[in-house]
Amino acid sequence: MSPAKPNVRTLEILKRVVSENFRDHIPGYSFAIACLVAVALSTAYTAYAMKGIVDEAFVSKDAKLVWLICFSLFAAFVIRGFASYGQAVALSRVSNSIVARYQKRLAAHLMTLPLEFFDERRSGQVAALLSQNISGIRDVLNLTVTSTARDMLSFVSLLAVMVYQDWLLSIVVLLMAPALLFGLRFFSRRLKEVALKGIRLNGIFFGTMQETIQGIAVVKAFTMERALEARVEDVIVAVENRSNQLARLSERNAPVTESFAGLMLAGVLAYAAYRSIYFNVPPGAFFSFFTALLLLYDPLRRLAKLQVQMERAAVHARMIYDLLDMEPRQRDLPDAKPLRPTEARIEFRDVSFAYGTDTVLNGVSFVAEGGKTTALVGPSGAGKSTIMNLIPRFYDPKGGEILIDGQDIAHVTKQSLREHLAYVSQQPYLFEGSIRNNIRYGRPDATDAEVEEAARLAYAHDFILAQPQGYDTPVGENGVTLSGGQRQRLSIARALVRNAPILLLDEATSALDTESEAAVQKALDEAMTGRTVVVIAHRLSTVVRADKIVVMQQGRVVEEGDHETLAKLNDGLYARLSQLGFSA
């Protein structure tokens, strides 16, 4: 890759960041720039005043003028101190606002992305990408403002002092600068690639650690500690090596800049000593020039590192924009209308689906009648879960149609479709927060009375009241403080409080003991009355209650009917599954 391409890409990122953020923060940046200008000018004045102090104190010996100059120097440092404080606070406020803004944008955008996005990425890697890279947007703007208002202005004003005091020596110094800039440009070429790899490795590390923590019980049960420890160590070593390489590339300019500064200072001192010894030139101008040169080192060093820092910030910012620019694959069609269910009758017409090149459903057709229960039965891999995922449009079919009361769900808004669905998965998921809030996620506007009624229907009310804080008890990460049966009952309560006409159940009682299953099944029987229910059945007890059973095998519907009808087919798949204890 040629060195010009990263610069062009960095410039594009810079333009986008500025166009999206600068206008909204003009007051804050204006104040910060004013403070940075004050810092730059007060720094330049410090160098300029040195001539007067040296000449008046050591040559003219004018005490009054020396006191006046000293007081002005003190005032310049006070102004510089307050200006530095003001710009730091102002930039921090703006930076925090920008970070919060992009966090909100990313959180909202992630909600629009399809399940394929999350299927292809580990959650730890997504979290690491967000936490590490969002600062890139902030850094691009901060580097632009501080480099322009403080460093560039300091450089120009101090250079003006140098030229004013000794133009010939200033020209000599300026002639040496291009060599320094060329060397720093050479060092920054590989930084972008190394920074990008470092970010990816950090994502792998966070994902591995999250996976280990979440599965710690399995790790300990199967004595996998050593194996996982070795795996984590390999990732950590890779991250460490990449970080060391990044540090070497980022700081490689230090020997160059320090050597360059030492050469300039030594040369200036030799030149000034020569003129003072042999030509009796007053030292005031030299001290002013020398002070300006010393003060020039810091802004020059920061400007020299600007490209390296900007490249790193641009890498982070680009990864954020790559995510924000990712188009949702399941946008509502232009003619999409709100779903208006009547009977909530679900019909699959010749539906096909594939995950990539792996065909899962092939010409599936069946009807789940409104207000009745339809059970999906079949061996593992038959396509039952895929059907359950197609109804809420977690995925779109590759062919065929799915209709609810004659309305093709591809032509209704996803929001209205999902508002009329309630879903209970086989593995219940609880969010950080209280029990009450977890139930209320089913319908955010539900009253406390409605939440408690749903808990009663799910036979969860009694065990909730037994918790230390009742309904306000925190559940911990994914309900770690509750048993599997308790989590499932809360998940069922969350579905019941939604009061939707369509209920999707992935064998909602599978995690319950016999007593709890009987209680919850009664609640479900009552809750399912008048609703269209599609259930993935793993137990015979669930299937017996179903109005219709759809038997699937290898992505096709092979049998349909009720329990009594299908059980009589001695050579049928359903009959064989029933005889095996029905763990399909």
Biggest alpha carbon–alpha carbon distance for the chain:
120
Provide the 10 A C-beta neighbour count for residue 31: 17
Residues in contact with 511: Cβ distance below 8 Å, sequence separation at least 6, in sequence order: 426, 427, 428, 484, 485, 487, 488
Q: Is 361 helix (H, G, I), strand (E, B) or coil?
A: strand
pLDDT in tens, 160-172: 988 888 887 778 7
pLDDT in tens, 476-486: 766 777 877 78
Span 448-472, mean pLDDT? 90
Find where tokens 């229907």 sit. 457
Q: Are 105 and 319 in contact (CB under 8 A)?
A: no
For residues 501 and 209, which has the higher predicted lDDT (pLDDT)?
A: 501
Amino acid at site 365: S
Q: Confirm whether pTM is higher than 0.75.
A: no
Q: Where are the domains of the chain?
A: 4-324, 346-579
CA distance 559 to 261: 84
The torsion region of residue 108 among left (phi > 0), alpha (psi -120 to 50) and beta comes to alpha
Please tell me the predicted confidence (pLDDT) of residue 52.
Answer: 76
Do the two domains 4-324 and 346-579 of this chain adopt the same fold?
no
How many residues are there in the chain?
584
Find where tokens 């062919």 sit. 399
How remote is the C-alpha of 525 from its chain's centroid? 42
pLDDT in tens, 512-526: 666 666 766 776 776
Topology, domain 4-324? ABC transporter transmembrane region fold (1.20.1560)
pLDDT in tens, 65-78: 778 888 888 898 89
Helix 135-145, helix 123-133: angle, nearest 10: 10
Position 291 pLDDT exceeds 60: yes
Helix 253-279, helix 284-324: angle, nearest 10: 160
Q: Which of 78, 85, 49, 53 is nearest to 67 (CA)?
A: 53
Q: What percentage of the chain carries pLDDT values higher than 90? A: 21
CA distance 349 to 130: 41
Span 495-499, mean pLDDT? 88
For residues 439 and 135, which has the higher predicted lDDT (pLDDT)?
A: 439
Instruction: Judge: domain 346-579, CATH 3.20.20.70.
Output: no
Return the bridge partners of 377, or none. 551
